[in-house]
Amino acid sequence: MIRLLAFLAVVFALGLGFAWLADRPGEMLVTFNGYQYQVTLMVAAVAIVAVVAAVMIVWWLIKSLWNSPYTISRYFRVRRRDRGYQALSTGMIAAGAGDGALARKKTKEAARLISSDQEPLINLLDAQASLLEGDHKGAREKFERMLDDPEMRLLGLRGLYLEAERLGDRNAARHYAGRAAAVAPQLAWAAESTLEELTERGDWDGALKLVEAQKSTRQIERDAANRRRAVLLTAKAQALVDSDPNAARTAALEANKLAPDFAPAAVIAADMVFRQSDVRKGSKILETAWRAEPHPDIAELYTHARVGDAVRDRLNRAKKLQELKRNHAESAMAVARAALDAQDFAMARREAEAAIRIDRREGAYLLLADIEEAETGDQGKVRQLLSKAVRAPRDPAWVADGVISERWAPVSPVTGKLDAFTWRAPMERLGHLIESDADVAVPAIAAAPPAAPAEKAIDIVADAPAEKLAPTNGGEKDRVVAETVVEAETVGQGAELPPLPDDPGVAPEEAADKSPRRFRLF
């Protein structure tokens, strides 16, 4: 476009010049070799322009003839290069489609037409063709040769990483990923693999640096980076609680600042603050997290924030939590537990039943069974509540990749993925064994089969003293697990519950002195 405008400008200038000369007639006299040549000024101007044009045309012809060998060779070179790139493109498409034979054929054709030094993609196509042919050793050798070329180094590391993953060599895979992440932290595959390695060996500071590098290169969004930092700082605080409390407190508070609604960070941050007798600040942290999402660990720590509080004081603190999050099952259960400890059975029963209406689940029925046992001792009603607990949906727990954990962990024990655990109700009920403080194995209660006969009932044996029983989940220090044996979990509609068998090993007068039994189903 610019050249066209320049050409038009020159033509316009020449036109103006000739018009100016036409308006001003004159003559030009030239004496040469004894002859005088007299012409008009217009003819002289036209002659000069014609001479200049002729000289330019002659110069162009001479230059074209002089450069013709180079022009011809360049034409064939460009044609050869175009054929090579066409072969390379066809080979890449064939490799992507899984056609190893065509990929190998086009690799040879492209290598013949284009130098691999000029086009590194030929090396990639060669390695891909080897993989399609099943020559993994040859492919690895080609990827290793790429490491010597700065332009191909990351590609070689990627290929070696994938080969190590295929062979199941996690150490080698993480080695190559670490080298790639050191050079280019923006590579997602390298950063994620390196992050898994750092978290697996507990190098939380190294993992935090890597996340910061990902954030600076905009590989991950700001909110995602803050979430990862909060998880890593929470894990770091947990690891330093005993060895370096000050560092643990700093990490926990920073994690809570990044994610105020993250329950594990709030719990450990508040716990570290409570250890320094700052109840007000720790309570504020827990209240903020409770408003976002109530969690039993938050309620447990909040109600026991002050050591030596009376049971009524703990009940009042539980009621304060309930005011912050009304019409929620966790709020009602927190008040019910505190009321049970305070021997306010009416309030405990009312709140436990409210929790069942809000969210029918196992823990609420178990809590109601505890209340019934402590208030009336009616074993028939207790067993009826336990049978309902068996059928009720499970309580929320920390779940990651099919693994159910009583405590939060920063990474999945199966895949090593960071921040894999989520607080939700497990999808399945799996039987397992737990051990009490007295090393007594307690059989788990599994889900009831759909076609269980109505005449079968639950048999419960609760012989162990309260001080010998294992504590339950969720940090309830005063709850205990009765040694429970389930012979059948289904109770038919209208079927009568059999009476609780007498305990031959405990005298009646001794049994009367024992503390109320607490029941827990898994």
Which H or E run contains 40?
Answer: strand 35-40
Kindly report, residue by residue over 480-518, the tens digit of the pLDDT: 333 333 333 333 333 333 343 333 333 333 433 434 444
Report for 2-6, 31-35, 438-442: range of highest mean pLDDT: 2-6
Query: Residue 356 falls within a domain, yes or no?
Result: no
Residue 16: CB atoms within 10 A of its CB come to 10
Kindly report, residue by residue over 298-356, the tens digit of the pLDDT: 999 999 998 888 999 999 999 999 999 999 999 999 999 999 999 999 999 999 999 99
Indicate the residue type of 57. I
Predicted pLDDT of residue 227 = 94
In the block, residue with structure tokens 């978290």: 199
Query: Residue 28 falls within a domain, yes or no?
Result: yes
Two structure tokens written together for 306: 């002050």
Predicted pLDDT of residue 488 = 32
In the block, residue with structure tokens 């209660």: 445
Two structure tokens written together for 163: 């080969």
Query: Residue 135 falls within a domain, yes or no?
Result: no
Asked whether residue 405 falls in the same domain as residue 444, the answer is no
Kindly report, residue by residue over 343-383, the tens digit of the pLDDT: 999 999 999 999 999 999 999 999 999 999 999 999 999 99
Q: How far apart are CA 226 and CA 212, in angstroms?
A: 9
Domain boundary among 404, 428, 452: 428
Asked whether residue 9 falls in the same domain as residue 80, the answer is yes
Beta bridge partners of residue 38, listed in sequence order: 29
How is 154-213 classified by DSSP, letter by letter?
HHHHHHHHHHHHHHT-HHHHHHHHHHHHHH-TT-HHHHHHHHHHHHHTT-HHHHHHHHHH
Beta bridge partners of residue 399, listed in sequence order: 404, 422
| Bridge-based pairing state of the strands 434-435 and 441-442 | antiparallel
Alpha-carbon Rg for the chain, nearest whole angstrom, is 42
Average pLDDT over residues 170-195: 86
Mean pLDDT computed over every residue of the chain: 79
Two structure tokens written together for 210: 């890597």
Asked whether residue 444 falls in the same domain as residue 495, the answer is yes
How many domains does the structure of the chain reveal? 3
Query: Residue 75 falls within a domain, yes or no?
Result: yes
Predicted pLDDT of residue 358 = 93
Range of the domain at 66: 2-86
Helix (H, G, I), strand (E, B) or coil at 249: helix
Q: Which range, of 78-82, 137-141, 260-264, averages the lowest pLDDT?
A: 78-82
Domain boundary among 37, 67, 86: 86
Q: How far apart are CA 151 and CA 498, in angstroms?
A: 79
Asked whether residue 439 falls in the same domain as residue 502, the answer is yes
Q: Which range, of 10-14, 154-158, 355-359, 418-422, averages the lowest pLDDT?
A: 10-14
| Closest to 519 in 3D by CA, of 464, 452, 449 | 464
Predicted pLDDT of residue 505 = 37
Query: Residue 211 falls within a domain, yes or no?
Result: no
Biggest CA-to-CA distance, the chain: 156
Query: Residue 48 falls within a domain, yes or no?
Result: yes
Kindly report, residue by residue over 440-479, the tens digit of the pLDDT: 333 333 333 333 333 333 333 333 333 333 333 333 333 3
Average pLDDT over residues 31-39: 79
| Closest to 111 in 3D by CA, of 138, 92, 84 | 84
Average pLDDT over residues 234-238: 95
Q: How far apart are CA 115 and CA 127, in angstroms?
A: 16
Q: Are 362 and 333 in contact (CB under 8 A)?
A: no
Report residue 116's pLDDT band, with 50, 70 and 90 as the boundaries: low
Asked whether residue 521 falls in the same domain as residue 443, the answer is yes
Asked whether residue 483 falls in the same domain as residue 501, the answer is yes
Task: Convert 76-129 into a string of H (helix), E (strand) and C (coil).
Answer: HHHHHHHHHHHHHHHHHHHHHHCCHHHHHHHHHHHHHHCCCCCCCHHHHHHHHH
Predicted pLDDT of residue 460 = 31
Asked whether residue 413 falls in the same domain as residue 472, the answer is no
Asked whether residue 458 falls in the same domain as residue 411, the answer is no
Query: Residue 15 falls within a domain, yes or no?
Result: yes
Query: Residue 463 falls within a domain, yes or no?
Result: yes
Domain boundary among 379, 409, 428: 428
Predicted pLDDT of residue 428 = 55
Q: Are 480 and 471 in contact (CB under 8 A)?
A: yes
Asked whether residue 488 falls in the same domain as residue 501, the answer is yes
Two structure tokens written together for 382: 């207790």
Predicted pLDDT of residue 514 = 38
3-state helix, strand, coil in the chain (%, to 5): 60, 5, 35
Helix (H, G, I), strand (E, B) or coil at 456: coil
List C-alpha distances in Å: 210 to 184, 213, 232, 492. Answer: 11, 5, 11, 58
Average pLDDT over residues 425-445: 43
Q: How far apart are CA 285 and CA 272, in angstroms?
A: 11
Asked whether residue 403 falls in the same domain as residue 450, the answer is no
Asked whether residue 436 falls in the same domain as residue 416, the answer is no
Q: How far apart are CA 406 and CA 297, in angstroms?
A: 11
b/e string for 70-99 if b means 16 or more Cβ within 10 A? eeeeeeeeeeeeeebeebbebbbebbeeeb
Asked whether residue 410 falls in the same domain as residue 493, the answer is no
Q: Are 368 and 400 in contact (CB under 8 A)?
A: no
Q: How far is C-alpha 472 from the geometric centre of its chain's CA atoms?
A: 30
